[in-house]
């Protein structure tokens, strides 16, 4: 892409040299103010083309320690200088044209080579303008776009000069000088369009229609509550896009990261040259319960809570919960974490709230277990069978697995329950089953019961 930009820029320099030289020679030979004004116009275009070449070369350098956002704005500076050159060209043409009319020095020869050079100029201008516009669009280069605008204005102004030469053939005096003044109008229009766009870029103006397009893209992405802010500005040939996105604070870090990636992917499908920075702002939803808030706070801090119970008594609120922390922490480290977590909860709840946490060790690594003897298996299975007969709500224990870890037994099994029993009731039943099983087999440390719906 860089080579494309440099090649089309250097080709513009070559075209500028040819046009300027030819127009000056023919302008002097014919005495045509229109062609001489075009020669000056082309000379300034040549200077602009040279600037464009260096701007493109420097502007494509990657970001470094001194220029964290890259060197892209050098293209805008080049375009601004080109704007100034266009205005100077316009004023010079008007000055010379008025001077010619006042002093009456308007003798012009409409020779065949005058027509040739103007037509040749238009052909070259059309070719260069198309090539520059194509690469400018592909690379989003403002310097190349400015250069294309120069050549486009040359096409129109050359057309005016050609018309002036035709009038001279019919003996209309002053037509060439008036044509030169017509050229200045096109030059001023080109300068105004280029200058306005360049200044917008340099003062970080928002590109037209881009904000609406980004909003439309982002609103289609799941889990986004709102878009708090979008800022867009040109960054050389790229667009710098900054977003503040509002999401529910209950989302995990992984989910938030996934949302950010989705935003970036979807925007770049539509705006390939985008350089995107996304800031995620977590907020609490209006209908969020205290239990949900506590769990969300735990996730934010990188751990989990369970069995969160909230109750009220005598105008006071009581919250208890089990806090899961890595088993390799010391009691002091675990207590400090629990204390800080309590402080964060108190910022979310009423002042008259009492907190009580139970810290549970969470195994960070896989545990090596071993098989048990046939006698131990039979004892545990018999105990499960006996308890199953006393609890009507669940039945048919199966997939029974019993393992030994150090001196303790770990038991898991599946069972069936009626599909219309509430989750809370099933939980109480399994807790009761676990308690009774531990009573019968004292070596059991943990029981995991997976309940399946029975139609």
Of 113-127, 147-161, 272-286, least confident by mean pLDDT is: 147-161
pLDDT at position 302 is 78
For the chain, how many residues are written? 455
- Residue whose tokens read 């030979």: 29
Surface-to-core class of residue 8, CB atoms within 10 Å of its CB (0-12 exposed, 13-18 middle, 19+ buried): buried
Of 52-66, 311-325, 370-384, 402-416, least confident by mean pLDDT is: 52-66
- Residue whose tokens read 């309940």: 451
pLDDT at position 370 is 82
Q: Cα(401)–Cα(379) distance, rounded to whole angstroms? A: 13
- Would you state the structure tokens that stand for residue 270, as one six-digit string? 């539509």
> With bands split at pLDDT 50, 70 and 90, how would you rate the model's confidence at 40?
confident
Q: Shortest CA distance to 403 belongs to which of 412, 416, 393?
A: 412
Q: Cα(38)–Cα(122) distance, rounded to whole angstroms? A: 11
> What's the rounded mean pLDDT across residues 392-415?
90
Q: Shortest CA distance to 311 belongs to which of 303, 320, 302?
A: 320
Percent of the chain scoring above 70 in pLDDT: 77
> What's the rounded mean pLDDT across residues 198-202?
72
pLDDT at position 116 is 78
Residue 450 β-bridge partners: 414
Q: Cα(236)–Cα(229) distance, rounded to whole angstroms? A: 22
- The pLDDT tens digits of the residues spanning 210-262 come to 888 899 899 888 888 889 999 888 766 677 889 999 988 778 788 889 999 99
Collect all residues with Cβ–Cβ distance below 8 Å to 435 and sequence separation of at least 6: none
pLDDT at position 68 is 60
pLDDT at position 378 is 93
**Range of 82-86, 365-369, 451-455 with top mean pLDDT:** 451-455
Contact by Cβ (8 Å): 419, 454:
yes
pLDDT greater than 80 at residue 69: no
> Whole-model pTM?
0.51
pLDDT greater than 80 at residue 419: yes
Q: Cα(165)–Cα(32) distance, rounded to whole angstroms? A: 8
Collect all residues with Cβ–Cβ distance below 8 Å to 62 and sequence separation of at least 6: 70
Average pLDDT score, the chain = 79
Residue 290: count of CB within 10 angstroms of its CB? 16
* 394-405 sheet: strands from edge to edge: 394-405, 408-418, 444-454
pLDDT at position 203 is 67
Contact by Cβ (8 Å): 231, 241:
yes
pLDDT greater than 70 at residue 7: yes
Q: Shortest CA distance to 168 belongs to which of 324, 35, 320, 312?
A: 35
> With bands split at pLDDT 50, 70 and 90, how would you rate the model's confidence at 379?
very high
Contact by Cβ (8 Å): 5, 152:
no
> With bands split at pLDDT 50, 70 and 90, how would you rate the model's confidence at 411?
very high
Helix (H, G, I), strand (E, B) or coil at 269: helix
- Domains of the chain in sequence order: 2-202 (1.20.1510.10), 210-283 (3.30.70.1350), 291-362 (3.30.70.1350), 374-454 (3.30.70.1350)
Half-sphere CA count of 213, side-chain side, radius 13 A: 14
- Residue whose tokens read 């308890």: 387
Contact by Cβ (8 Å): 199, 80:
yes
Of 64-73, 199-208, 346-355, least confident by mean pLDDT is: 64-73
Half-sphere CA count of 336, side-chain side, radius 13 A: 5
Q: Which residue has the higher pLDDT, 69 or 303?
A: 303
> What's the rounded mean pLDDT across residues 67-86?
69
């Amino acid at each position: 892409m860089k080579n494309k930009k440099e090649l089309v820029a250097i080709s513009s320099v070559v075209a500028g040299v040819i046009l300027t030289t030819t127009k000056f020679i023919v302008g002097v030979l014919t005495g045509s103010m229109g062609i001489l004004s075009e020669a000056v116009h082309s000379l300034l275009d040549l200077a602009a083309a040279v600037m464009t070449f260096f701007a493109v070369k420097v502007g494509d350098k990657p970001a470094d320690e001194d220029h964290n956002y890259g060197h892209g704005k050098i293209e805008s500076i080049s375009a601004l200088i080109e704007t100034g050159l266009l205005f100077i060209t316009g004023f010079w043409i008007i000055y010379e044209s008025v001077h010619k009319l006042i002093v009456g020095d308007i003798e012009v020869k409409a020779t065949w080579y005058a027509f040739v050079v103007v037509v040749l100029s238009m052909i070259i201008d059309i070719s260069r303008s198309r090539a520059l516009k194509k690469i400018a669009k592909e690379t989003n280069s403002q310097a190349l776009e400015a250069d294309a605008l120069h050549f486009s204005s040359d096409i129109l102004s050359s057309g005016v000069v050609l018309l002036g030469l035709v009038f001279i053939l019919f003996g209309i005096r002053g037509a060439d000088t008036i044509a030169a003044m017509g050229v200045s109008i096109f030059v001023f229009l080109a300068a105004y369009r280029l200058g306005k766009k360049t200044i917008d870029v340099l003062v970080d103006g928002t590109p037209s229609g881009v904000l609406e397009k980004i909003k439309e893209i982002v609103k289609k992405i799941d889990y986004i509550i709102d878009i708090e802010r979008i800022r867009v500005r040109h960054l050389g040939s790229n667009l710098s896009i900054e977003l503040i996105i509002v999401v529910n604070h209950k989302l995990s870090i992984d989910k938030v990261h996934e949302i950010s990636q989705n935003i970036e992917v979807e925007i770049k499908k539509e705006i390939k040259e985008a350089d995107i920075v996304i800031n995620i702002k977590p907020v609490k939803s209006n209908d969020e319960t205290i239990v949900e808030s506590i769990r969300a706070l735990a996730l934010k801090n990188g751990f989990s809570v369970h069995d969160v119970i909230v109750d009220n008594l005598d105008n006071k609120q009581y919250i208890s919960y089990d806090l899961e922390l890595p088993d390799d922490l010391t009691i002091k480290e675990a207590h400090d974490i629990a204390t800080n977590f309590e402080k964060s909860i108190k910022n979310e709840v009423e002042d008259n709230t009492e907190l009580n946490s139970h810290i549970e060790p969470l195994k960070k690594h896989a545990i090596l277990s071993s098989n048990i003897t046939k006698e131990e298996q039979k004892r545990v299975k018999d105990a499960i069978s006996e308890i199953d007969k006393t609890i009507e709500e669940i039945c048919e224990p199966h997939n029974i697995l019993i393992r030994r870890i150090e001196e303790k037994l770990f038991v898991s099994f599946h069972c069936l329950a009626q599909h219309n029993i509430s989750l809370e009731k099933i939980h109480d039943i399994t807790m009761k089953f676990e308690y009774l099983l531990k009573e019968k087999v004292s070596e059991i440390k943990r029981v995991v019961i997976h309940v399946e719906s029975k139609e």
